[in-house]
Chains A and B, each alone.
Chain A
């Protein structure tokens, strides 16, 4: 019996993954290097302000993916009725 790995399979799924990955990258190098400065913005060091923005972007990303309706399956796996040769095989 073959089993499908869990990965994006539609354009909306790929978009959802891209949103999450992009948000993660915004908190990591090299993006943080752009904000690593002694300049102040909104009264705080630039990197501090950016980190606070990342908090909001994280929730925003989840809201956006929720709105897309492709936030990943909540259900336990069901038997896949149709034939589908995509995806990894557990053989």
Chain B
């Protein structure tokens, strides 16, 4: 193995594509290419597309005893002690974040959650991450030589450009023992999540917020979305506080970050943590009767009117045009 400065770990190899470009950029600071670490059991998922992303080496980690977060974390911390990189990057899925946090705790590493950038300034490593509900970026200066474990929100970056560089594929076996109390965690059941929607890949999104008076009125939002061939999204209050829609429809810092061609915000006030979630949209429309609602500042087309008048009018027009 090459003991590189920057490695990416993911238990789900295809996620590596989504962090490949920040990984290549970060490794270039050290005049290197990044390394990629995946469980040996996922070997078959390493396809040509992934191989071409400029990895110096791909490490197939052997000896992971189960797919529980603790097993990945113990295996990974064993490997980190041996190859001592500067930075370990992990895609910030739910699984990834848990593995990252436990590994960082085991290694007394510096944990940098959902960073947007890592760089060197005046000889010091620094990282930037959104805080205080988003819209505010905190710059941290690293004051320790310990390993940095940084998670990156996936789907924000296009995959790295293809290269003809052929990564070395290495099998590496670790041995670890989990303490007794940890090894007594057992999985009783695991079933695939029936996802009703994938907002990340939607071309058009109609998102609804606090302005909606009652759950039944979602029908009209879904009708509008259907006519526009759009998906329905929502702000945090609708999913987390009211429980009217599942959290996979929640757009924002604590939900999904989306980048559709068209984003229509219906009855959404425009809290910054929500705005962060749709800021990469091409065209944004705001519908809110409150002229002072912050959402209007983030829109290309601003409608200061009652959603209960505008949405039916839009539905009507779209039906006429069919």
Do A and B come from the same complex? no
Write the residues of chain B forming the contact surface with A, with a CB cutoff of 8 angstroms. none
